[in-house]
């Protein structure tokens, strides 16, 4: 490529850049729409991830509550059997 070809490409590029940066240009509108779409996609993904984390945390809390309820129930049963064992020899 010659120097003139490179200068021609550079001037074409600069012309496109200048045209695309105008306040009322279609290119600015298009770029803004793409940015809005990307932001909306990002927000949707973030909301989905947040909901998933909340679901997992709620499930974990429910599992903990169930496990601790079973443990408390087991402790109560063991306590009753110990008390029953203590009461019988005294009779």
- For residue 8, is it within any domain? no
Task: Report residue 87's pLDDT band, with 50, 70 and 90 as the boundaries.
Answer: low
Asked if residue 20 lies in contact with residue 28, where contact means CB atoms within 8 angstroms, the answer is yes
Q: Rounded to whole angstroms, how far apart are CA atoms 28 and 34?
A: 10
Tally of domains within the chain = 1
Q: Is the pLDDT of residue 59 over 90?
A: yes
Q: Rounded to whole angstroms, how far apart are CA atoms 68 and 75?
A: 10
- For residue 46, is it within any domain? yes
Asked if residue 31 lies in contact with residue 37, where contact means CB atoms within 8 angstroms, the answer is no
pLDDT tens-digit map of 17-46: 776 667 778 878 888 999 999 999 999 999
Structure tokens at 87: 């009461």
- For residue 76, is it within any domain? yes
For residue 33, the surrounding DSSP H or E stretch is helix 26-90
Domain that holds residue 19: 15-90
Is-above-0.75 flag for pTM? Answer: no
Q: Is the pLDDT of residue 91 over 60?
A: no
């Amino acid at each position: 490529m010659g120097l003139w070809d490179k200068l021609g490409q550079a001037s074409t590029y600069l012309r496109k850049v200048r045209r695309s940066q105008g306040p009322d240009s279609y290119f600015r509108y298009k770029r803004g729409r793409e940015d809005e779409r990307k932001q909306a996609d990002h927000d949707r993904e973030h909301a989905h991830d947040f909901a998933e984390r909340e679901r997992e945390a709620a499930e974990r809390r429910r599992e903990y509550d169930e496990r601790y309820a079973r443990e408390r129930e087991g402790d109560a049963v063991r306590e009753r059997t110990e008390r029953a064992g203590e009461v019988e020899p005294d009779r």
